[in-house]
Amino acid sequence: MTRVPLIDPATAGTPAAELLTATKRAMGVIPNTTKAMANSPAALKGFLGLLDALKEGALPAALRERIALAVAEINGCAFCLSAHTYVARNVIKLDEEEITAARLGRSADPKAAAVLDLAVAITNNNGQVGDNQFTAAREAGLTDEEIVEVIANVAYNIFANYINEALDVDLELPVVAALSPAAV
C-alpha cells in the first residue's frame, strides 16, 4: 500500500489539482505515481516540467522509452517497468524483442544501442562515466544535445523509480517483474 495518500484530483486543493489536470493532458491518464507526487506540488511540478521539456528535445519518444526501460530494469522498479513496457508495446509499438533488449541496455538499432550504452553507464556508475563513453557515443553519431538529453532522461527516470520504490506506489497495470540476474 502506498506510503502517502494518493491525491484525488477531484478533491485536491490548488495547486495539486491544477498539476494533476496537467498530468492528464501530458500523459492521457493520471497515474498513481503522480497522485503520490501531488503530496508535494513542487515535486510534481518539477517532474512534469522535465517531462514536458524532454518531449520537446532531440531524442524521439522511442529512444526515451528505451532509456526508461533500461533505467527501471537496473533500479528494479516494477512500477516503471510495467508502465514503460505498456507504453513501449502499445504506444511506441516496439516489438517484444526490442523491449527485452532495451531492458538489458541493448538494441538492434545502432543509435539506440549507443544511447542505451551511455544511459546504462550513467545509471550504473551514478553519473561517473569516463571519456571513453562520450567518445563511443559521439562515434555512434550522438550530438552533444542528444548526449545531454540522455543524461537528463536518466535523471528523470531515476526520480520516477525512486518515488515509486520509496513510496511503494500501488501499480494500476499488470506487473512486469525485473529480469533475473542471470539474464542481465
pLDDT, tens only, 136-152: 999 999 999 999 999 99
pTM value?
0.94
- CA 13 vs CA 2, 9, 66, 92, 122: distances in Å: 20, 8, 35, 34, 38
Place of cell 496537467: 22
Q: What is the pLDDT of residues 72-84, one digit of tens each?
A: 999 999 999 999 9
Q: How confident is the model at residue 182 (pLDDT cuts 50, 70, 90)?
A: low
Domain ranges in the chain with CATH number 1.20.1290.10: 61-164
Q: Which fold has domain 61-164?
A: AhpD-like (1.20.1290)
- CA 111 vs CA 33, 45, 93, 126: distances in Å: 30, 31, 18, 22
